[in-house]
């Protein structure tokens, strides 16, 4: 029987405590907040997107950074396993659009309560409002932690599950990175991820609140005098007072964050992805033929949401009052191209306050992928968001937490 310390009472820490205790060990979990699962409480807009119900290979493909590292842990504790555990603990689940898994109640608190109840049943000793100041080793082996109140707590092993820097109001302040660095670990550069983006053009303010569905978004970077595509996808996006947000943009941020540190990127929105340039031109031409004496601004209104029309008229090279029967083929084709590639300049990501997760963290080359044990310090483990692992939206990031937690617990 070992004494195991877990630092952090979020998703990863809670699950690790349950399985470590089920192995017969004495488990102590230290959480600086006054309750467990602060960040878990707000995930999925308070509904808790537990995982994604896809095949494991698809889970791996949704992981943006270091997916190969997670191969053994995702197969060791899969999306089916966490769903089965929660069902066993009394939380029934459902699968929604995009294979997202939620509790039937739509209440994240039900997930937290179920895990907490099992922790208590397994006699996990929960220390709330107990902040850890530092993690110590002796001769390359974990030895003890020091609490903020100065108390030293000795144990046989320590699992660090402190999360990243995202949503700092929940207590995620990046302390774990500091401990990792002090213990010899490399910290890969930290970026907010799954976060909205800012654009240079003031037109975003005019479009604030406008949601575009069924559009295709492409992000380009300028390299060697030509544009290179770095992201493209189909779905929904939203304009805000500072720029752009919504599912397409949030996922795109996982790919472009590091690039935006040194350069601006081009965002192209295809407003009519179901139509080719030729098909869209024929459609507009039909509108012109049916409304020959009407002004341009009154004919193309059917193509766009009302809020978008002024911006399209301003961006286009056709005078809004021009009768459509006087518009040349060249003018019409130029407008078609605008519809197929409405362009904005992305200047930067929003901050950690709005980020769902942190990109970067403890270098996974220094962690055993089967056990999550540090290769620098024996009996020290890192799990969840503190590692240099991040994925797209849809429950994938929580699955990283569950799988890495299980791997660490089962290796005790």
The domains of the chain are located at 3-191+359-410, 196-350
pLDDT score for 302: 87
Asked if 215 and 232 touch (Cβ cutoff 8 Å), the reply is no
pLDDT band for position 171 (50/70/90)? Answer: low
Task: Determine how β-strand 357-362 pairs with β-strand 187-193.
Answer: antiparallel
Nearest Cα residue to 29 out of 50, 54, 3: 3
Asked if the model's pLDDT at residue 172 lies above 80, the reply is no
Nearest Cα residue to 193 out of 217, 165, 168, 220: 165
Residue with tokens 């060697």: 224
pLDDT score for 168: 72
How would you class 67 by CB atoms within 10 Å of its CB: exposed for 0-12, middle for 13-18, buried for 19 or more? middle
Q: HSE-up of 165 (CA within 13 Å, CB side)?
A: 19
Assigned token pair, 233: 């996808």
Residue with tokens 């901050």: 351
Query: How many CB atoms are located within 10 Å of the residue 306 CB?
Result: 8
Distance CA 328, CA 25 (A): 79
Asked if the model's pLDDT at residue 224 lies above 90, the reply is no
Three-state secondary structure along 310-335? Answer: HHHHHHCCCCCCCEHHHCCHHHHHHH
* E-assigned strand segments in 162-257: 187-193, 197-199, 211-223, 226-239, 243-245
Residue with tokens 């507009």: 284
φ, ψ (nearest 5 deg) of residue 22: -65, -25
In degrees, to the nearest 5, what angle opens at C-alpha 165 toward C-alphas 164 and 170?
95
pLDDT band for position 279 (50/70/90)? Answer: very high
Using one digit for the tens of pLDDT, what is the confidence trace for 75-106? Answer: 999 999 999 999 999 999 999 999 999 999 99
Distance CA 32, CA 48 (A): 22
pLDDT score for 8: 96
Torsion of Cα atoms, 161 then 395 then 116 then 78, to 10°: -80
Asked if 58 and 35 touch (Cβ cutoff 8 Å), the reply is no
Q: Give mean pLDDT, residues 333-340.
A: 96
How would you class 262 by CB atoms within 10 Å of its CB: exposed for 0-12, middle for 13-18, buried for 19 or more? exposed
Query: What is the sign of the dihedral through the CA atoms of 336, 252, 171 and 51?
Result: positive
Using one digit for the tens of pLDDT, what is the confidence trace for 393-411? Answer: 999 999 999 999 999 999 9
Q: Give mean pLDDT, residues 17-40.
A: 96
In degrees, to the nearest 5, what angle opens at C-alpha 387 toward C-alphas 156 and 170?
90
SS3 260: helix
Asked if the model's pLDDT at residue 220 lies above 80, the reply is yes
Most confident of the following: 282-291, 318-327, 365-374 = 365-374
Rounded percentage of the chain residues whose pLDDT exceeds 90: 91
Asked if the model's pLDDT at residue 166 lies above 90, the reply is no
Q: HSE-up of 5 (CA within 13 Å, CB side)?
A: 27
Q: What is the CATH number of domain 3-191+359-410?
A: 3.50.50.60
How would you class 38 by CB atoms within 10 Å of its CB: exposed for 0-12, middle for 13-18, buried for 19 or more? buried
Assigned token pair, 294: 């009407």
Using one digit for the tens of pLDDT, what is the confidence trace for 176-211? Answer: 999 999 999 999 999 999 999 999 999 999 999 999
Asked if the model's pLDDT at residue 60 lies above 80, the reply is yes
Assigned token pair, 108: 């994240």
Q: Which residue has the higher pLDDT, 225 or 201?
A: 201
φ, ψ (nearest 5 deg) of residue 240: -125, 175
Asked if 43 and 108 touch (Cβ cutoff 8 Å), the reply is yes
Nearest Cα residue to 403 out of 166, 70, 99: 70
Element (H, E) at 355: none
Q: Which residue has the higher pLDDT, 223 or 199?
A: 199
Rounded percentage of the chain residues whose pLDDT exceeds 70: 99
pLDDT score for 240: 97
pTM: 0.92
Assigned token pair, 355: 């980020």
Task: Determine how β-strand 125-128 pairs with β-strand 132-138.
Answer: unpaired
pLDDT band for position 11 (50/70/90)? Answer: very high
Widest CA span in the chain? 87
């Amino acid at each position: 029987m070992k004494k195991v310390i877990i630092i952090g009472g979020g998703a990863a820490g809670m699950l690790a405590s349950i399985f470590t205790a089920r192995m017969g060990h004495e488990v102590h979990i230290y959480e600086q907040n006054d309750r467990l699962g602060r960040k878990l409480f707000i995930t999925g807009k308070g509904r808790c997107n537990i995982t994604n119900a896809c095949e494991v290979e698809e889970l791996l493909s949704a992981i943006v950074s270091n997916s190969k590292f997670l191969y053994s842990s995702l197969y060791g504790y899969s999306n089916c396993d966490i769903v089965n555990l929660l069902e066993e603990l009394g939380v029934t689940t459902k699968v929604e659009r995009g294979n997202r898994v939620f509790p039937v109640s739509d209440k994240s608190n039900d997930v937290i309560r179920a895990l907490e109840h099992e922790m208590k049943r397994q006699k996990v000793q929960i220390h709330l409002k107990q902040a850890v100041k530092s993690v110590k080793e002796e001769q390359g082996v974990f030895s003890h932690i020091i609490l903020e109140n100065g108390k030293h707590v000795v144990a046989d092993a320590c699992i660090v599950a402190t999360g990243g820097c995202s949503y700092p109001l929940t207590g995620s302040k990046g302390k774990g990175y500091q401990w990792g660095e002090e213990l010899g670990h490399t910290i890969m550069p930290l970026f907010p991820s799954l976060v909205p983006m800012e654009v240079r053009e003031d037109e975003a303010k005019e479009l604030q609140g406008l949601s575009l569905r069924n559009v295709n978004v492409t992000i380009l970077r300028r390299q060697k005098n030509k544009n290179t595509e770095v992201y493209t996808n189909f779905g929904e996006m939203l304009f805000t007072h500072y720029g752009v947000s919504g599912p397409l943009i949030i996922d795109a941020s996982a790919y472009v964050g590091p690039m935006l540190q040194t350069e601006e990127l081009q965002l192209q929105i295809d407003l009519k992805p179901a139509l080719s340039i030729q098909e869209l031109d024929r459609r507009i031409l039909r509108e012109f033929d049916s409304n020959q004496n009407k002004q341009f601004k009154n004919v193309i209104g059917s193509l766009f949401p009302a809020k978008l029309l002024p911006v399209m008229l301003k961006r286009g090279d056709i005078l809004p009052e021009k009768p459509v029967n006087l518009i040349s083929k060249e003018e019409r084709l130029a407008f078609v191209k605008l519809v197929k590639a409405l362009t904005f300049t992305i200047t930067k990501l929003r901050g950690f306050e709005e980020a769902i997760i942190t990109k970067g963290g403890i270098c996974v080359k220094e962690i055993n992928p089967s056990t999550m044990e540090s290769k620098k310090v024996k009996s020290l483990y890192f799990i969840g968001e503190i590692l240099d692992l991040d994925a797209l939206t849809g429950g994938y990031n929580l699955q990283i937490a569950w799988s890495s937690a299980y791997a660490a617990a089962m290796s005790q």
